[in-house]
């Protein structure tokens, strides 16, 4: 089956609405996933599939399509409505469901949407599971007869359970956080964060000043919570004298921070600071992906624990965490994974851990960030060439013979204080070139040297 124009990967399936991603495509993948989930469940296990969506404009349309598609293959749908990706994952675990579908394109621009496919463990599908599910679609999905159609019920308590689970984490002193009454500036980019972030921050006794809280999916800025997109939040944080500014992406699995000085500190510091808090209370490995800042390694080394690298992609980090018994992990895009709650990126968890760290340290966020070495990450991207990338990787290894190579996901070349990572994106038809070094000039030089063989293939 041709998937032209679609990004089909470990992250699910995504595309531009009205182009590659149509109601027909959504129905085909939703039905195929539902049939796979129902067929692979253990004897006596629920036929339920949890469904949620973020606030994207196309979300209600695709939501209706997904409900019908799942019913048509005999799945019993538990509809949690407008929600966050981590809430949907937790709902799959709570209901002991056969799987879950989250309708969200995460940080992609407004014209995109996607189906994120969640297995019965609450993790996104692993590679073998995804291959089996797609093989079923390509072989032809079997639909249920009239007497075996599924049903739809609703669950209005998923967000409340999520918040209660965060508040019960062993690292949090909820009473002390409430007594501190942190001032928080909040930007939910008109996404699903408007559902859960005020609920959490209110429970933690915070004084919240919020912007972009209408969950209608009409993003007022590029939705990815990177520093260059957080100018409005930075201005608000400084103007009201907030202790911290918090920004989430549309489906609330990523968290970015703004210091009390009104400066975005960079998404990688979300995981680094969360790990710093957890490692004060519990020792164990930290896992992150190959494109995350070295600052996370620095935090692990300072605590005397291992920092393990995994391929990019939430499920890859989650599986590596499960295998290594990691106490915390995540990705440098602001995604924090805490196994005490679930093996998925979770912005509410990141926010709660950050407030606990501020409480325990008794110093402003800018001072905590200043404790760590500063690195500069430079990111570039090119159209994905039709030619195989293997020759590019070989050329790069030849150009940097002194570097330590890692081939788990594209090619990462590392030195003691810098690295460069070249890999095909799993969410866009591009090749990413990411480098980090102590200075911007050094990082840009790595990117430019790494682009040479890529440019030759693209031209």
Contact 39, 114 (CB under 8 A): no
Residues 204, 280, single domain; the answer is: yes
In tens, the pLDDT along 353-410 reads 999 999 999 999 999 999 999 999 998 988 877 778 888 898 889 889 999 999 999 9
Q: How far is CA 158 from CA 57, 106, 165, 183, in A?
A: 22, 19, 11, 27
Residues 239, 311, single domain; the answer is: yes
Residues 263, 386, single domain; the answer is: no
Q: Is the pLDDT of residue 458 over 80?
A: no
Residue 31's SS3 state is helix
**What per-residue confidence (pLDDT) applies to 10?**
61
450 is catalytic: no
Q: Is the pLDDT of residue 69 over 80?
A: yes
The contacts found for 317-321 with CB under 8 angstroms, 24 or more apart, are 317/287, 317/288, 317/289, 318/123, 318/124, 318/343, 318/344, 319/123, 319/126, 320/287, 321/287
**What per-residue confidence (pLDDT) applies to 391?**
84
Of the pLDDT bands very low, low, confident and very high (cuts 50, 70, 90), residue 455 is confident
Residues 236, 357, single domain; the answer is: yes
Of the pLDDT bands very low, low, confident and very high (cuts 50, 70, 90), residue 442 is very high
Q: Look up residue 102 and give its two tokens.
A: 């989250």
Rounded distance between C-alpha atoms, residue 89 and residue 304, angstroms: 32
**What per-residue confidence (pLDDT) applies to 452?**
82
Of the pLDDT bands very low, low, confident and very high (cuts 50, 70, 90), residue 8 is confident
CATH number at residue 403: 3.30.310.50
In tens, the pLDDT along 182-237 reads 999 999 999 999 999 999 999 999 999 999 999 999 999 999 999 999 999 999 99
- Closest alpha carbon to 22 in 9, 3, 44: 3
Q: What is the pLDDT of the chain when averaged over all its residues?
A: 94
Mean pLDDT for 308-317 is 93
Residues 412, 346, single domain; the answer is: no
Mean pLDDT for 427-453 is 89
In tens, the pLDDT along 323-347 reads 999 999 999 999 999 999 999 999 9
Contact 265, 369 (CB under 8 A): yes
Mean pLDDT for 440-446 is 96
- Closest alpha carbon to 41 in 120, 134, 151: 120
Of residues 105 and 391, more confidently modeled? 105
In tens, the pLDDT along 23-54 reads 999 999 999 999 999 999 888 789 999 999 99
Of the pLDDT bands very low, low, confident and very high (cuts 50, 70, 90), residue 89 is very high
Contact 60, 52 (CB under 8 A): no
Q: Does the residue 407 lie in any domain? A: yes
Rounded distance between C-alpha atoms, residue 335 and residue 344, angstroms: 8
**What per-residue confidence (pLDDT) applies to 388?**
81
Residues 82, 196, single domain; the answer is: no
Structural domain of 113: 7-156
Rounded distance between C-alpha atoms, residue 196 and residue 206, angstroms: 14
Q: Does the residue 2 lie in any domain? A: no
Q: Does the residue 1 lie in any domain? A: no
Residues 421, 326, single domain; the answer is: no
> Which of 156, 186, 203 delimits the end of a domain?
156
In tens, the pLDDT along 134-176 reads 999 999 999 999 999 999 999 999 999 999 999 999 999 999 9
Contact 110, 219 (CB under 8 A): yes
CATH number at residue 292: 3.40.120.10
DSSP calls for 322-378: HHHT-SEEEETTTEEEBTTTBSS--HHHHHHHHHHHHHHH-S-HHHHHHTS---EEE
Residues 12, 145, single domain; the answer is: yes
DSSP calls for 132-160: HHHHHHHH-PPPPPGGG---EEE-S-HHH
Number of domains making up the chain: 3
> Which of 121, 156, 191 delimits the end of a domain?
156
Contact 78, 48 (CB under 8 A): yes
Residues 246, 170, single domain; the answer is: yes
Q: Look up residue 335 and give its two tokens.
A: 């995604």
> Which of 313, 339, 370 delimits the end of a domain?
370
Residues 214, 325, single domain; the answer is: yes
**What per-residue confidence (pLDDT) applies to 1?**
56
Contact 187, 235 (CB under 8 A): no
**What per-residue confidence (pLDDT) applies to 145?**
97
Q: Look up residue 90 and give its two tokens.
A: 């937790």
Contact 37, 30 (CB under 8 A): no
Of the pLDDT bands very low, low, confident and very high (cuts 50, 70, 90), residue 3 is confident
Residues 309, 362, single domain; the answer is: yes
Q: Which of 55, 58, 106, 293 is catalytic?
A: 106
Q: In the chain, what are the helix, strand and coil shares in percent, each to the nearest 5?
A: 40, 25, 35
In tens, the pLDDT along 264-297 reads 998 999 999 999 999 999 999 999 999 999 999 9
Q: Does the residue 189 lie in any domain? A: yes
430 sits in which H/E element: strand 430-437
Q: Is the pLDDT of residue 68 over 60?
A: yes
Pairing type for strands 418-424 and 76-82 reads unpaired
Mean pLDDT for 92-114 is 96
Residues 279, 427, single domain; the answer is: no
Cβ-based neighbours of 378, under 8 Å, separated by 6 or more? 434, 435, 436, 440, 443, 444, 446, 447
Q: How far is CA 165 from CA 4, 35, 46, 432, in A?
A: 41, 31, 23, 36
Of residues 429 and 94, more confidently modeled? 94
Q: Is the pLDDT of residue 453 over 80?
A: no
């Amino acid at each position: 089956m041709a998937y032209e124009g679609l990004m089909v990967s470990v992250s699910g399936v995504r595309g531009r609405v009205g182009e590659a991603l149509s109601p027909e495509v959504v129905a085909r993948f939703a039905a195929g996933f539902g049939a796979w989930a129902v067929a692979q469940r253990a004897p006596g296990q629920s036929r339920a599939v949890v469904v949620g969506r973020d606030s994207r404009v196309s979300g209600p349309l695709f939501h209706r399509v997904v409900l019908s598609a799942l019913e048509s293959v005999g799945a019993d749908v538990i509809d949690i409505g407008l929600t966050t990706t981590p809430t949907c994952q937790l709902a799959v675990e709570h209901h002991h469901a056969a799987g879950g579908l989250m309708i969200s394109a995460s940080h992609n621009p407004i014209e995109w949407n996607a189906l994120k496919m969640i297995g019965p463990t609450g993790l996104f599908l692993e590679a073998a599971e995804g291959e089996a599910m797609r093989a079923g679609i390509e072989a032809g999905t079997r639909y249920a007869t009239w007497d075996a159609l599924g049903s739809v019920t609703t669950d209005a308590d998923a967000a409340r359970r999520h918040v209660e689970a965060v508040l019960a984490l062993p690292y949090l002193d909820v009473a002390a956080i409430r007594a501190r009454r942190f001032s928080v500036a909040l930007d939910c980019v008109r996404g699903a964060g408007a559902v859960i972030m005020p609920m959490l921050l209110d429970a933690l006794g915070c004084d919240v000043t919020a912007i972009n809280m209408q969950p209608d999916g009409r993003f007022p800025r590029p939705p990815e919570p990177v520093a260059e997109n957080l100018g409005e939040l930075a201005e608000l944080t400084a103007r009201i004298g907030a202790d911290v500014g918090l920004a989430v992406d549309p489906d609330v699995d990523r968290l970015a921070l703004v210091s009390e000085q009104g400066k975005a500190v960079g998404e990688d510091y979300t995981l680094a600071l969360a790990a710093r808090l957890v490692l004060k209370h519990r020792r164990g490995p930290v896992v992150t992906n190959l494109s995350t800042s070295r600052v996370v390694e620095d935090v692990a080394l300072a605590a005397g624990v291992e920092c393990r690298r995994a391929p990019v992609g939430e499920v890859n980090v989650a599986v590596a965490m499960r295998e290594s018994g990691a106490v915390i992990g995540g990705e440098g895009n602001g995604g924090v994974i805490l196994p005490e709650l679930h093996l998925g990126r979770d912005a509410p968890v990141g926010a709660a851990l950050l407030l606990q760290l501020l409480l325990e340290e008794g110093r402003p966020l800018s001072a905590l960030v200043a404790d760590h070495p500063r690195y500069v990450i430079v990111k570039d991207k090119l159209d994905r060439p039709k030619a195989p990338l293997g020759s590019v990787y070989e050329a790069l290894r030849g150009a940097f013979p002194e570097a330590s190579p890692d081939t788990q996901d594209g090619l990462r070349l590392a030195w003691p204080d810098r690295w460069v990572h070249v890999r095909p994106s799993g969410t866009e038809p591009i090749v990413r070139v990411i480098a980090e070094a102590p200075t911007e000039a050094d990082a840009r030089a790595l990117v430019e040297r790494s682009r040479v063989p890529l440019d030759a293939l693209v031209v």
